[in-house]
A and B are shown apart, each in its own frame.
Chain A
Amino acid sequence: MTATIDAVEQPLNAPRFTRRTKIGLAVLFVALMIPPFVTNPLDLTKLSRLVVLVLAVLGVNLLTGYTGLISLGHGVFVGVGAFAMANFVDTGLPLVLAGIAATLFTGVIGLILGLPALRVKGLYLALVTFGIALAFPPFARRLGRLTGGVTGRTVDNESFVPPGFLGLNDQVHIWRYGVCLIVVAIWFVIIRNLVNSRMGRALRTLRDNEPAAATFGIHVPYVKAGALAVSAAMTGTAGVLQALLNPYISHSDFDAFLSLRLYAAAVIGGLGTLVGAIYGVLALIVVPAVNDTLELLDSDAVVFGAGLIIMTFIAPTGIAGLFTRERAGKSRGH
């Protein structure tokens, strides 16, 4: 019952940068430069809050796509990161240190929650993480001053402003958008190196055949726990940035539907590829925007649910798979 996945098989030594990747990165770079010029401060902040979710989606992807462990509870780590950030800022730490501390804290929480969960196999992990996702909001509500209880709390983000020499003093939102992009980029580089390292190969072997992985001398529990910790930590960073962008956070921001949405985005974007996370977040940005503009549905859940089902039928490797199909030849299994 180990969950194997229909992913495009990557060669174990991933090529450094193909021409396609370079063009893709250039397009992405240009696309990311546009919003500051065409949106108002409010929309840009809203966009930044969605953009940082790419870290959460990549976190799900690292766990589900690369390691084969289903997590339906990543919204919890966004919440833990956000609340941890608020509290570390309260202690007077500089923002960067507070952010790093909150990230590490979320990683540790991920490890603590994961230790019992990792003893269980395949689908059961999905079940346990889903339970945690449901239990988190009422739990956070009980934590009093730490989380602001029922009403939520504010985060002191007044020092999250551009340094004077940049001359951006009246363009705080652009500076914040830029900082978010840089943090996201740093995580992407880390994860790219990770999945192409010994660790990444261990993860994929584990995903495809756990007994075989053990035979190769991979210490299965350690590797799983490591993947979970890194995944939780990067998702925590998404929470850190969200807390800084929107200085008012409450337990209801991190309900089970956030987790489900992140999971749907990871699958729709494409599991087992880095670029999949970017496509997934694109879906998280575009679908609600279109829905709001056209005033179609009360909730865009229908689109994400249907999207998840339709993508499983027509493109089991997600949007990322649609673009790489002709290159990778036949995708496995069908």
Chain B
Amino acid sequence: MELFLQRCFDGMFTGAIYASLALAIVMIFRSTGLLNFAQGEMGLIGGYVSLTLLSPPGTSGIGFSIAGTGFASKWVPGHPWPVWLAIVGAVAFGALLGAVIERFIMRPLADRSTLSQVNVTIGLLILINGIVFQVWGPFARRLPSPFPNGKDDYFGIFGARLRYTTVGVWAVLIVVIILLGLLIRYTKTGLAFRAITSNREGASLVGVPIGRTLTVGWAMASAIGALAASLIGGAVSLDPLTMLNLLIYALAAATIGGLDSPRGAIAGGLIIGLTQSLAPPYLGIPTELTLLPPLAAMVLALTVRPHGLFGTVPVNRV
């Protein structure tokens, strides 16, 4: 029981990360009908930016200084920043990156086929990964957690340890969802966003600024991705390959929840996180193969319920 609870708590931490990335994927899918394969890498570069912002110049994680710290200490006032501020910086960077990608890469291709647009996101995946590899090197780095993450920083619940980081990450995720909900419900941009989601051509006919709204959408999605990457420090180390696996978990989460449902993304993230921590010990799956249960869950969901748990079931006119 104790062990079961402990595994659940562990799964909840990673689940929150998957949920945030899945949320980012859902936001872009809802507004553009596009699966953004570059979402993970867009977050990854945000995570590295936060690493650079919070590391003093010349520090060595494992014998190599972190790229960009020299530049940052020269040009960024008050560098190195405290963890929280570095995360804010990474989120701002993520937003900018998302906006730039939408404005200069995705928008010119808006009337191309879905395949072309997906190809570009795959190109971005490879490109950003290459850039990260080139700039920050292949080493695994440990991002400090913004929450107390010491040996004794946990709530004891029936003998299991619910770590502060897990609670903190969920708190952040909930705040993000509430802010996002408020934004979409009560602001003019949010209204435009909803209009585009329900009927893009109609929205454009009544004068909704499609381009600008999508730029904001991509910026927000990318910012959420950067936030997720900056928060993984509590459990996972950051290296150029981290996000490839996280991306597939997040895509699985988004698919299971329903690609057009933010609620589904959260539920899906939690499901994947729990599957990942519970399936190996109880089904006897070796830890190296933790990728298999989420993958199987995704294929199962796609086969049995292609529109996910919370997704809209499309109506086809024949």
Contacts and interface: CB of A to CB of B under 8 A. Distances in A.
B130 interface: yes
Interface string B243-264: 0110010011001000000000
A316 B120 CA distance: 11
Overall SS of chain A's interface: helix
Contacts of B120: 308-309, 312
Interface residues of B, number: 44
Contact of B114 (A123, A131, A257, A306): A123
Interface stretch (A29-37, A112-120, A224-232): A112-120
A304 B130 CA distance: 9
Contacts of A121: 306
B286 interface: yes
Nearest to B254: A127
Contacts of B119: 267, 308, 312
A57 interface: no
B107 to A, nearest CB: 12
A44 interface: no
Interface string A1-22: 1111110000000000000000
A305 B123 contact: yes
A200 to B, nearest CB: 19
B291 interface: yes
Interface in A261-307: 261, 263-264, 267, 297-307
Interface string B223-248: 00000000000000000000011001
A81 to B, nearest CB: 22
- Of A2, A119, A260, A309, the most chain B CB neighbours within 10 A belong to A309
B128 interface: yes
A68 B116 CA distance: 11
Given A135-B292, A301-B130, A308 B116 contact: no
B52 to A, nearest CB: 18
B302 interface: yes
A135 B127 contact: no
B292 A1 contact: no
A142 interface: yes
A312 B130 contact: no
Contact of A120 (B133, B291, B303): B303
B130 A297 contact: yes
A134 B245 contact: yes
Contacts, number: 149
Interface residues of A, number: 55
B35 A127 contact: yes
B286 A68 contact: no
A70 B35 CA distance: 12
Contact of B113 (A124, A127, A301, A333): A333
Contacts of A68: 115
A132 B295 contact: yes
A309 B114 contact: no
Nearest to B128: A305
Interface in B136-152: 137
A9 to B, nearest CB: 13
A138 B295 CA distance: 13
A152 to B, nearest CB: 15
A312 B109 contact: yes
A124 B125 CA distance: 17
A72 interface: yes
Given A119-B302, A134-B291, A308 B123 contact: yes
A305 B125 contact: yes
Given A6-B116, A68-B115, A141-B288, A302 B244 contact: no
Contacts of A327: none
B253 to A, nearest CB: 12
8 contacts: A3-B114, A124-B255, A130-B37, A130-B248, A297-B134, A305-B127, A309-B124, A333-B113
Given A135-B295, A300-B130, 4 more contacts: A3-B114, A124-B306, A260-B126, A312-B119
- What 7 pairs between A and B have smallest CB-CB spacing? A305-B127, A308-B123, A301-B130, A305-B126, A302-B130, A309-B123, A3-B115
Interface of A: 1-6, 64, 68, 70, 72, 116-117, 119-124, 126-128, 130-132, 134-135, 138-139, 141-142, 256-257, 260-261, 263-264, 267, 297-309, 312-313, 316, 333-334
